[in-house]
């Protein structure tokens, strides 16, 4: 498998992603022995639970400074700018952004910092992934009734790398429902794993909620866990009005994903996101940037 390329939206230029533990990830997802190890052990809750315990302990604090340096993280974007201010690695991992660094645009806005795929029709996703399988809405959402509601609709996937800001936000003004949990495994959502198939989303632990909006209908929001993601935590008030860009929750340590589903005809994604996806490339977006109207 070649290098993972993406488009930096701020410059329009193509870049190559640095994947943490890239060699291990390729072994797990591309070799027969690695795939067997993944099935038996790494997808299980125990590994992620142990990792979560360590990341919440004081022993993990010494990893913060090296992580910032190794991945060139710009700490001026955040409220706490000094590595010594955090209690443990997870405290750093779900650090809070400086709101001035993420102005909120118009229309539907990005709910997270991450690399995005935009499918105006969910069926279009079959052309992007290696296996070319149709995304199974019923399996992903857990009910045929809900799947029918979004059949023929649009889908946006935002993949958060471990180096990204890991709080997620509402994509529009509206009223959010209670969040429900669908238990599952803990497969990685790194680009090496995700490029294989969207089936990972239908197998992993994930949450489901809807945001009722005036112009965009009921936007379905799903947060998807992954290897080493100890928790998906919600911080919003249910059934109370929220603004576009306001915080919804955050992930504990690990790569993770936010999936947005729209009813048919309710949104038109930004041209650059659509075109880059058609070209087989993700687009790096930031919280609050306009992604559709």
d(CA 38, CA 126): 25
The pLDDT, as a whole number, for residue 103 is 97
Q: Under DSSP, is residue 40 helix (H, G, I), strand (E, B) or coil?
A: helix
Confidence of residue 22 (pLDDT cuts 50, 70, 90): very low
Instruction: Flag whether pLDDT at 44 surpasses 70.
Output: no
Mean pLDDT in residue range 97-108? 96
Instruction: Give the ranges where the chain is alpha helix by DSSP (H).
Output: 22-30, 32-37, 45-55, 63-70, 89-93, 137-141, 144-150, 191-194, 199-203, 271-278
Name the active-site residue from 48, 125, 154, 169: 169
Confidence of residue 290 (pLDDT cuts 50, 70, 90): very high
pTM attached to this predicted model: 0.86
Task: Output phi, psi for 40, to 5 deg.
Answer: -75, -40
Q: Which two tokens stand for residue 168?
A: 């997620």
Instruction: Please answer whether residues 25 and 188 qualify as being in contact, where contact means their C-beta atoms are separated by less than 8 angstroms.
Output: yes
How many Å is the Cα radius of gyration of the chain? 18
**pLDDT tens for each residue of 193-249:** 555 556 665 667 889 999 999 999 999 999 987 655 558 899 999 999 999 999 999
Bridge partners for 219 per DSSP:
211
**127 a catalytic residue:** no
- Any idea what the Cα angle at residue 21 is, between residues 18 and 22, rounded to 5°? 60
**271 a catalytic residue:** no
How long is the chain? Answer: 293
**256 a catalytic residue:** yes
Bridge partners for 140 per DSSP:
none
Report the relative pairing of strands 290-292 and 108-109 from DSSP bridges. Answer: antiparallel
**DSSP letter string over 219-288?**
EEEEEE--TT---EEE-SPTTS-B-TT-EEEEE-SS-EEEEEEE-TTS--B-HHHHHHHHTT-EEEE-TT
Percentage helix, strand, coil for the chain under 3-state DSSP, each rounded to 5: 30, 25, 45
Name the active-site residue from 60, 88, 113, 154: 113
């Amino acid at each position: 498998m070649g290098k993972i390329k993406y488009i930096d939206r701020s410059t329009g230029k193509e870049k190559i992603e640095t994947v943490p533990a890239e060699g291990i990830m390729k072994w797990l997802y591309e070799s027969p022995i690695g795939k067997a190890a993944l099935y038996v052990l790494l997808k299980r809750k125990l590994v992620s639970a142990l990792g979560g315990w360590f990341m919440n302990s004081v022993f993990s604090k010494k990893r913060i400074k090296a992580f910032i340096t190794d991945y060139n993280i710009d700490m001026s974007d955040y409220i706490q700018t000094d590595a010594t201010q955090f209690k443990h690695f997870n405290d750093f991992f779900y650090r809070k952004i400086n709101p001035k660094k993420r102005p909120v645009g118009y229309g539907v806005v990005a709910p997270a910092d991450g690399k995005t795929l935009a499918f105006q029709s969910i069926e279009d996703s079959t052309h992007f992934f290696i296996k070319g399988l149709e995304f199974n809405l019923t399996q992903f959402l857990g009910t045929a009734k809900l799947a029918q509601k979004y059949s023929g609709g649009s889908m946006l996937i935002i993949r958060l790398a471990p180096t990204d800001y890991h709080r997620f936000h509402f994509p529009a003004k509206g009223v959010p429902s209670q969040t429900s949990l669908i238990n599952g495994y803990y497969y990685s959502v790194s680009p090496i794993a995700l490029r294989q198939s969207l089936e990972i989303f239908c197998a992993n632990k994930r949450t489901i909620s809807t945001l009722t909006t005036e112009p965009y209908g009921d936007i379905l929001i799903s947060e998807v866990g992954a290897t080493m993601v100890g928790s998906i935590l919600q911080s919003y008030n249910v059934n109370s009005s929220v603004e576009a860009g306001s915080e919804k929750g955050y992930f504990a340590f690990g790569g993770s994903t936010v999936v947005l589903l729209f009813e048919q005809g309710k949104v038109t994604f930004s041209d650059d996101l659509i075109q880059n996806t058609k070209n087989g490339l993700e687009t790096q977006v930031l919280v609050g940037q306009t992604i559709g109207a």
